[in-house]
Amino acid sequence: MIWVIGCKGMLGAELALQLTQANIPWTGTGEEVDITNVQALENFFNSTETASYLSSHNTENHADNGKIRWIINCAAYTAVDKSEDDAEKAHAVNADGPMNIARVARAHGAKLIHISTDYVFDGTANIPYTENFPRAPLGVYGQTKSEGEDNVAKGMTQYYIIRTSWLYGFDGRNFVYTMTNLMNTHESVKVVNDQKGSPTFCGDLASVILRFIERADGATSFFGRNSAAPYGTYHFTNEGVTTWYEFAKTIYEYGQKYGRITHDCDVQPCTTAEYPSKAVRPAYSVLSKNKIEKELRIKIPSWELSLERFMKGDRFSLK
């Protein structure tokens, strides 16, 4: 069985859907199980091994008999600017939380997939960041996520850390929904044009997460020996590089094409200096995907293709 922590968030909800569609046993928790409290995690883990829990989740006939074999940690304090004022909470969730999860996972023999961020880098590079590039986070959010990575690596050996960037999906607030709403209600919007990165569709990231599990658990029977991806850190985003401004322009294009945007709106570029924020953002946060493409033998769709698929999909719903 797979335990999705943060199952009510944007990525967690997508994972829950894909796991259900694939008929893979899973359980999920949100804020009701506090990841900053190791005993709360331990108590939940133990509760899933009771006969009544296993019976209610129809896991008796599966090979693992309902025992949690994988934990996917999607929980995070992602309010980048608020983190600057609430560093204690950001640290508790982003650094202490992963440490506690790793501790419980190791104690019960479960493997861990932990989601991290491009914000662990300072954005001064001019070529895509590889997994082993020195981390140098600029703000509290990035610092706490970087510490969370270290805590996972110190706490266990059977883990995958997946860094991603510019995430959007069907459930929860994100840049695509925000821009679509603004473009429907404003004659013009300004978007920064001097920060480069790669958007990531939650549906694609969730599929890759499940592929890690498939390759690890089914390596011998499905792929042959030694075909599981080595444990460690990986990068995943959609293919291609853009700016927030060009991203917004493409959202407007697809929004009009598929009837998501019904008003004319002038999308204008601006500089980061014109759009001040409490936390400093990396100017360049493009992540290299060479390692994950090689190890999982996947072809990653472009950000434009995935964005179009998202905006024309039946699940697109403005909040």
**How many CA atoms lie within 13 Å of 225's alpha carbon, on the beta-carbon side?**
0
Q: 102: closest CA among 143, 145, 71?
A: 71
**CA angle (11 as vertex; 8, 13 as ends), nearest 5:** 40
Instruction: Please give the Cα distance from 113 to 117 (Å, whole number).
Output: 13
Q: 68: closest CA among 165, 24, 2, 134?
A: 2
Instruction: Please give the Cα distance from 79 to 75 (Å, whole number).
Output: 12
Instruction: Please give the Cα distance from 83 to 279 (Å, whole number).
Output: 8
141 catalytic per annotation: yes
- Which tokens in the block code for residue 158? 């059977």
Q: Which candidate in 77, 119, 141, 254 is catalytic?
A: 141
Is-contact 145 76, C-beta < 8 A?
yes
Residues forming the active site:
141
